[in-house]
Amino acid sequence: MSEHETVLRADAMLTPGGVVTDAELAFDGSGRITYVGPARPDAESASDRVVHELGGHVLMPGLVNGHTHSAMTLLRGVSDDEGFMPWLAAVQALEQHLTHDDVEVGLQLAMVEMIETGTTTFADMYHWDAQLIELVRAAGMRALVALASFAPDAVGFPGVSPWNGAEATDQTEALAEQFAGDAQVRIAYGPHAPYTCPPEFLRDIARRAIERGIPIHTHISESAAEVAQIQERYGATPADHLDSLGLFEADVLAAHCVHLTEGEIALFARTGTAVSHNPVSNLKLGNGIAPLPEWQAAGLRISLGTDSVASNNTLDLFEEIKTGTILHRGARQDAAIVRAADVLDIATRRGAEAVGFPETGALEVGRLADVIALDVTGSSAVPFEAASLISHLGFAATGADVRHVFIGGRHVYAEGEHLTLDADEIRLRAAAARARLTAANAAAAATAH
C-alpha cells in the first residue's frame, strides 16, 4: 500500500462522538484513520493526498454481520413458508449435493452482496479451509470463520469436506495457527448447536478452546422446539446445559438466543458471552423475538446478523437495522424501548468487538478505516438533513444506497463497481450451481421413491 494519505469528504459522517456535518475523514497508507472532523480547507493542497470529494454522500463505519453462513446464498428462497425443523431438513437435503466449487462460488456471491450493501466484516459458520479463507483475503473483507461440526464422526457436507467432526476440530486449530495475527481473518470452532452436538463433543471443544484461546461460534436457543428437546434430553435449558459442559469459560459467540431465560442472560453477562441478534431470520422462520431490551439492560456483548440467505433472504444489514429497531417497539408497545442509534452501534462498533475485530467498527482516529459511503440524493433520502443522519441510516437507508466501500483503507467498491470481485461472472456461476443442486436433489428424491 502506498504511503499517501487518503481523504474522504462528505455531507455528514457518523462517529462515536455524534454526527459531523460537512465532514472529512483521512487515513494513512497503512489504513489507519488519522483525522475525523469538519472538512479542512487545505486538504487538497498537499501533493501526497488523494482526495475523494463525495458530495451527496454520507460516511459511516462498515457494517458487521455477526452471524451468517455465506455459501448458503446458493439456497436463497428454499422452503420459504415452512417452520424451522422442516426448513432445516429441506436445506440439508440440498446441502448433501454441494461440491467445493459450490461453496467457493456461494461464498463469493455472499461477498459480492455484502460489499455492495455495506458490510465489511462477517462472522461465518460453514465449511472452511485455507483456499476459501484466501478468497476472503483476496476480496479484502474481514471474517471470523468457524468450521461447522456436528459430532466426532459426523460429516456435515459430504461432497465438500474431507473431514469428520473430530478432524474439523483439528483442522480449526491448524488454520488458527496458519492465520494467527492476520488482520483480516480469525478462526473459531463451530459446533453447530446443543441439539445437534453430543455433550462429550462439546465438552472437548470447550476444553480445547480455553487451552488455545480460540473462540467458539455456535447457535443457542433458536427455536422453542430446541429448548424443549434439550430440556427433555438433559433436564436443563440450552445455555445451562452448555454451561455444565464448561463452554462459557471460552470466548463464545452465540447466534439467535431467542428463548434465553433471565438466568441465562445473567450467565452470559457474567461470562462475557457475545450474542448475535438475527431479527429477520427469527421472524421468517417463526422462531420468535429475541429479548434485545433485556440483553441491553444486562450489558451483553451484542452483534447484529442476517443468518444465512436461506432464512432471510438477503445479506442487507440495513434491513436488519430497521427491523431490529422497530420490532421490539411493536412487540412491547413502547416506541422508546430501542433506539436506532443503539442498533447502528450494535451493527458497527459493538458488533466488531463481539466478533473479534475491536480495531474496526467506528470512525475515530487510530482505528482501521473500514468505512462506507452512501448516496443521499435518491428519493428515499430527500429532504436530507445532515444533522438527522441517524434517522436516515436507521429508518430509510438500504444497502442499495452504498456507493463506496473501504476496508482497512483498501478501496474494494467504487461508484457501485467491485474492485476485488468479478461480480458478473460470480452471479452466473452461482445460478448454474443452484440449477445443478436442484436437479441433483430432484434425481435423488426420484430414486428414493
List interacting residues with Zn ion (CB under 5 A): 307
Residue whose Cβ sits closest to Zn ion: 307
Which residues share a beta bridge with 123? Answer: 144
CB nearer to Zn ion: pick between 204 and 307: 307
Q: What do you get for the CA distance between the two ends of the chain, in Å? A: 59
DSSP type of residue 32: B
Q: Which residues, including other chains, have CB under 8 Å from residue 329's CB and lie 6 or more apart?
A: 335, 337, 338
> Backbone dihedral region of 272: left (phi > 0), alpha (psi from -120 to 50 degrees) or beta?
left
CB nearer to Zn ion: pick between 15 and 281: 281
CB nearer to Zn ion: pick between 160 and 254: 254
Closest distance between Zn ion and the C-beta of residue 88, in Å? 10
CA distance 82 to 433: 24
Query: On the CB side of 250, how many CA atoms lie within 13 Å of its CA?
Result: 29
State the sign of the Cα–Cα–Cα–Cα dihedral 62, 66, 71, 77: negative
Closest distance between Zn ion and the C-beta of residue 312, in Å? 10
Contact 152, 201 (CB under 8 A): yes
Closest distance between Zn ion and the C-beta of residue 203, in Å? 22
CB nearer to Zn ion: pick between 111 and 397: 111
Q: Which residues, including other chains, have CB under 8 Å from residue 275's CB and lie 6 or more apart?
A: 253, 254, 255, 257, 268, 290, 295, 300, 301, 302, 303, 354
Helix (H, G, I), strand (E, B) or coil at 50: strand
CB nearer to Zn ion: pick between 15 and 312: 312
Closest distance between Zn ion and the C-beta of residue 74, in Å? 15
Closest distance between Zn ion and the C-beta of residue 304, in Å? 13
Closest distance between Zn ion and the C-beta of residue 310, in Å? 9
CB nearer to Zn ion: pick between 120 and 276: 276
CB nearer to Zn ion: pick between 251 and 307: 307
What are the backbone angles phi and psi of residue 150, rounded to the nearest 5°?
Answer: -120, -40
Closest distance between Zn ion and the C-beta of residue 368, in Å? 27
Which residues share a beta bridge with 276? Answer: 255, 303
Closest distance between Zn ion and the C-beta of residue 90, in Å? 15
CB nearer to Zn ion: pick between 303 and 420: 303
Cβ neighbours, 10 Å, residue 48 = 9
